[in-house]
Amino acid sequence: MATHIDISELEKAMDGLLESALVPEKWTGTLEAISRATGSEGAHILPAIGKFSPGFLTTPNLLEAFDVYFAEGWYKRDFRERGLPVALAKGIIIEHDIASEEEFRRHEFYTEFLARFGLRYSAMIAFTSGDTLLTLNLQRRIDDPPFDREEERILLSMQSKLTASAEIIRSLQAAKIDGMSEAFELSGTAAVFFDRTGHVSHLNNRAERLLNGDIRIVDRELVSASQEETGLLRRHLKAVLAGDPFLNPAVSTPVLFSRAGKAPLIIRAQALRGLPADIFAHSRAVAIITDLSERARTDGDLLRRLFALTPQEATVARLLMEGSSPRQIAEICGLSYETARGYVKKLLAKTGTQRQSQLISLLSAVKI
């Protein structure tokens, strides 16, 4: 049976996988070479589950399609995901494993999305990076023939080199994370690293010492005794990993984890960037944990965000930390003594403290 795959060119392209693992900037050229050798219009690598922009690698000619794929929500309606059980079972799927010619002609994913860019048939090769299932997707045009069983056999031989490349990148990343973790440890900073799904991938000793009955790791998730606080951290991590700091305030808003009988912890996450092949990364974000029992300078804006203070409450809090009594605060702010005392009571309630001395200690411990 005739094949549209150039086997000798594909072998050369596959040699580029290991080079790309060591020099990530070469991934674009390697994917373009694989695309040409397989008679495809383009090639890209995506996680099989949990897709989000910018978590993928692609040939440049498919970037416009990917913009639409994410912007219009097609990634949530990707018809081809029904083929994942097949991919897990045999390592590869071609479109005719999951779709009939009738579906190619009628299903919206093909007629409204792929057809907009002149695309139709694809083949997906499954491989792993750690515990993440990825797929190398080869995309052909409408007027190209679909991938056949002979081509499927040839493409399946790519799987071992894809996996080897992914493991090299993860090993290099793991060494980098170990170095970062040690640096945080030496600086007295508690740090927790997260993978692309928001699960804990590593934590340093200082962070581990903060874990107790209130703050713990359950099924690789950092959780608080409060479901609400745990939910806030999930949203914070999701926003950080999605990379939209200007559109989503959850990126810049840290999370407060309360502890019984102790000052709370502030958790701030930020994305780890710098590699074109972030899709294979051992860790995608790091969270710095600040223990509010350790005194530091105070950031008024952070106080307002953490404890949901009004501007007037934040002013009263600042004056308390500067040593003013409620009566002095009343005079400074032009308030009655009872009103000033009322603000102090509101601050006690919002921060979960019982005495003014505890309140001042807690507020003064918030780091910039």
Does 2 map to a domain?
A: no
Same domain, 27 and 80: yes
The count of other CB atoms within 10 Å of the CB of residue 297 is: 9
The mean-pLDDT minimum among 1-5, 45-49, 122-126, 187-191 falls in 1-5
Based on the domain organization, do 12 and 63 belong to the same domain?
yes
Domain count, the chain: 3
280 lies in some domain? yes
- Do 99 and 207 belong together in one domain? no
CA distances from 172 to 81, 176, 177 (A): 30, 6, 9
One domain for residues 147 and 214: no
Q: Largest Cα–Cα distance of the chain, in whole Å?
A: 92
Closest CA to 271 of 174, 196, 220: 196
- The CATH number of residue 113's host domain is 3.30.450.80
* Eight-state DSSP code of residue 145: P
> In what helix (H) or strand (E) does residue 121 lie, and over which residues does it extend?
strand 119-129
Could you tell me if residue 89 is inside a domain? yes
Q: How many residues does the chain have?
A: 368
Enter the DSSP assignment of 37: H
Domain that holds residue 126: 7-156
Q: 123-149: per-residue pLDDT in tens?
A: 999 998 877 888 999 999 999 999 999
- The pLDDT > 90 percentage for the chain reads 41
In a domain, 162, yes or no: no
Task: Reply yes or no on whether the pLDDT at 170 is more than 90.
Answer: no
One domain for residues 18 and 144: yes
Average pLDDT of the chain? 85
- Across 28-32, 103-107, 287-291, 316-320, the highest mean pLDDT is recorded for 28-32
Q: Is residue 48 part of a domain?
A: yes
Domain final position from 260, 291, 322: 291
**Comparison of pLDDT for 274 and 63, the residue scoring more:** 63
Q: What is the CATH number of the domain that holds 203?
A: 3.30.450.20
Whether pTM > 0.85 for this model: the answer is no
